[in-house]
Chain A
Amino acid sequence: MSLQSTHDFVSKLLNNKRSRDAYVYEHIRNGIPFQLRAMREQRDWTQADLAKAANTGRTTITRLENPNNERLTIKTLLELASAFDVALLIKFVPFSRLLKEYEDVSSDALNAGSITDEEEVKALNAWAAERDIKTHAANASDTILREIKGKGNTTPQQTWLRFVHEVTTSTEVKTPTNDINERRREPADQPNAELVQTQQDQLLTTEIGGQRRASSRG
Chain B
Amino acid sequence: MWKLRSFRQSNGNTLVSEWFAAQAEEVQEAFLGRMKFLRGLPGNGWKRPYVGQLRHASCKGLFEIVISVNGVEHRPIGFFSEEMEFTFLAFATERDGKFDPITTCDVAQKRKDIILNHKERSREFTIYA
Contacts and interface: CB of A to CB of B under 8 A. Distances in A.
Q: How large is the interface on B (under 10, 10 to 19, 20 to 34, 35 or more residues)?
A: 20 to 34
B40 A68 contact: no
Contacts of B17: 3
Contacts of B40: 34, 104-107, 109-110
Interface in A122-174: none
A109 B39 CA distance: 13
Contact of B1 (A19, A34, A99, A106): A106
Contact of A1 (B1, B29, B50): B29
A4 interface: yes
Contact of B127 (A1, A18, A109): A1
Interface string A65-109: 111100000000000000000000000000000010011111101
A22 interface: yes
Interface stretch (B41-49, B90-98, B100-108, B109-117): B41-49
B30 A3 contact: no
Interface stretch (A24-32, A182-190, A193-201, A209-217): A24-32
B62 interface: no
Interface stretch (A5-13, A52-60, A113-121): A5-13
Interface residues of A, number: 35
Residue among A8, A62, A65, A67 having the largest count of chain B Cβ atoms under 10 Å:
A67
B34 interface: yes
B49 A18 contact: no
Contact of B29 (A22, A34, A66): A22
Contact of A107 (B16, B36, B45, B67): B45
Interface of B: 1, 16-17, 20, 24-26, 28-30, 32-34, 36-37, 39-42, 45, 49-50, 66-68, 125-129
Closest 10 CB pairs of A and B: A26-B33, A22-B29, A1-B32, A106-B40, A18-B25, A66-B49, A68-B68, A9-B129, A105-B40, A2-B128
Given A2-B127, A31-B37, 7 more contacts: A1-B28, A2-B32, A19-B28, A22-B26, A23-B33, A65-B49, A67-B49
